[in-house]
Structure 1
């Protein structure tokens, strides 16, 4: 301060008063940055609209099936499905896995901030944070959504950023468990629902959905659209990874390709006419169908008052602690039926998946047929009757 005062031409007889001469009557308070305010109602409504539009554009079956989710859990459903779209598209929209990893880290940070109640000004994060706060308010803090499950989804996406093929059919199943099954677990938590039976059914449904999603995306990954050379995401230079990405890749499990004699270079050159491709698609689709059949049989057992026919393999893992729940005991059959009734809307992706697999079978497992990429006009009606009958 003295230096600043000395810049002026003071009269010789005048001695400026510096801060050292002033008596201190108070201490300067220490200020901290205020915590970010919660999202406004207008921001939440805008976030809902954004997430709904994202589903309409990239995941129309999930948008249709929103109607079967209880209204109180619909914001969480929209946020989770939009989060799934945003993270799943990264591998197809970036030039290199390094850029993809950076974007996934962005979503990790967003999840952390959403769970801390200070979401960034980003629609999916705003709606997720709102859904978390609403769940806390509805249940008095007794029900939570698992942040680790969202991180699991991100971690699984990161493993396949370069669209590499799955080593085995079992690894493809694990991918379905760690992505689509986990989405269903999170949606069940948003109801809220903590049931070993509901999670068990959701596990099989999610695996079927995940496996089918890979089959549906196979033509687009094998023959990606030309890059936008005016975009910042366009590859600079002729890196091997960029060349591989522009040429496409075949994401079928390697063990299935070996058994059926499929070579990825044949698929990239001949498309649907590649030798053994339909046999490989048939084997993968059969595994997805098996999970739907298992889930359907479990529903039949529950509504018949019987035990499910096998144990839940993830019981006891993080997020799957059911405080001593079992599938046996007096009154358990009635309790299971009530739980499944409440949770049934979460299982509805099984309807859309079943319709697509049926269409694939009618087309002789030619996964490149254009009909498989069209919206199924029967889904709303099939979903309505499935929900009404509590059977898919």
Structure 2
């Protein structure tokens, strides 16, 4: 759905958005593809060096995403710091045992998602405090939804990223999120509810800023529609993260996105 959202951007911004998101996908997949920590760190280092080569005016490495990044970064004068934040979030922010607190999870959600919006806004030539504020909240909301959606995947690998403070609050063992039976007990649903509620709070704050955000920036935030759609669907199935409906897409989502673009909303 992020691809469809990018297609709805103005033509001059579409290429940059695709490239920025492709970079984030490449970095995000390292943790899933690599089982040995040292090899993973080497991959992250490779991407840092690839960025360094671009910003130091050296020849770009022969990798399709790097070659496209080289063009987009130079055309739009994008800040290296935001790309580095995406790498650092993936390489440092998730301990092997998961998050200690909900605050830690929210911080990771922002660091792994909000820089994408900052970069796209920069590519659009938009410098606005309200837009940056909305990007921060939307990044947290979308990042938390991404983490919720990943729970079944991590369960299949016997990995639990759910914050320990929420597990203690609801008296839920880690094993409940690592079982191959994929059963959502009341405790599991309560934990997911808390994470989803935090995401909803940030999503609402981002949407409340809509009227103050420049109209040219609002299309950048169209993924908020998909984020809201997922949270509503999760609510309708009582926060059962292992329910098959979590993998389905609303038949009205495409129309809702197109309508939001026409009305300059998100």
TM normalised by structure 2 equals: 0.93
Deviation at 1:373, TM superposition (A): 1.9
- Distance change in 2, residues 1:106/1:374 (3 Å): farther
Structure 2: give runs of 5+ residues left out of the alignment. none
| Higher Cα radius of gyration | 1
Alignment of 1:17-56 (within 5 A): none
Residue of 176, 180, 187 corresponding to 2:109: 176
Confirm or deny: 8 A CA contact 1:97 1:162 kept in the other structure: no
CA distance in 1, matches of 2:19, 2:264: 25
Residue aligning to 1:120: 61
SS of equivalent residue, structure 1 residue 273: coil
Confirm or deny: 8 A CA contact 1:96 1:162 kept in the other structure: no
* Alpha-carbon RMSD: 1.6
Deviation at 1:166, TM superposition (A): 1.3
Confirm or deny: 8 A CA contact 2:61 2:67 kept in the other structure: yes
1:292 aligns with 2:203: yes
CA distance in 2, matches of 1:267, 1:98: 26
Q: Which has the larger helix fraction?
A: 2
User: Could you list the per-position Cα deviations for residues 165-189 of structure 1 after superposition, in whole angstroms to 9, with x for gaps in the alignment?
Assistant: 1111111111122121111001111
- Distance change in 2, residues 1:83/1:164 (3 Å): farther
Deviation at 1:275, TM superposition (A): 5.0
Confirm or deny: 8 A CA contact 1:91 1:163 kept in the other structure: no
1:210 aligns with 2:143: yes
Deviation at 1:354, TM superposition (A): 0.6
Deviation at 1:368, TM superposition (A): 1.0
SS of equivalent residue, structure 2 residue 75: helix
Confirm or deny: 8 A CA contact 1:76 1:131 kept in the other structure: yes
Residue aligning to 1:237: none
Residue aligning to 1:244: none
Alignment of 1:168-247 (within 5 A): 168-224=101-157
CA distance in 1, matches of 2:185, 2:93: 24
CA distance in 2, matches of 1:285, 1:119: 41
Structure 1: give runs of 5+ residues left out of the alignment. 1-60, 136-143, 225-247, 303-335
Deviation at 1:223, TM superposition (A): 0.6
CA distance in 2, matches of 1:121, 1:114: 12
- Distance change in 2, residues 1:264/1:275 (3 Å): farther
Alignment of 1:1-392 (within 5 A): 61-117=1-57, 118-135=59-76, 144-160=77-93, 163-224=96-157, 248-269=158-179, 270-274=181-185, 276-300=187-211, 302=212, 340-392=214-266
Deviation at 1:162, TM superposition (A): 5.7
- Distance change in 2, residues 1:376/1:110 (3 Å): farther
CA distance in 1, matches of 2:121, 2:129: 11
TM normalised by structure 1 equals: 0.64
SS of equivalent residue, structure 2 residue 118: helix
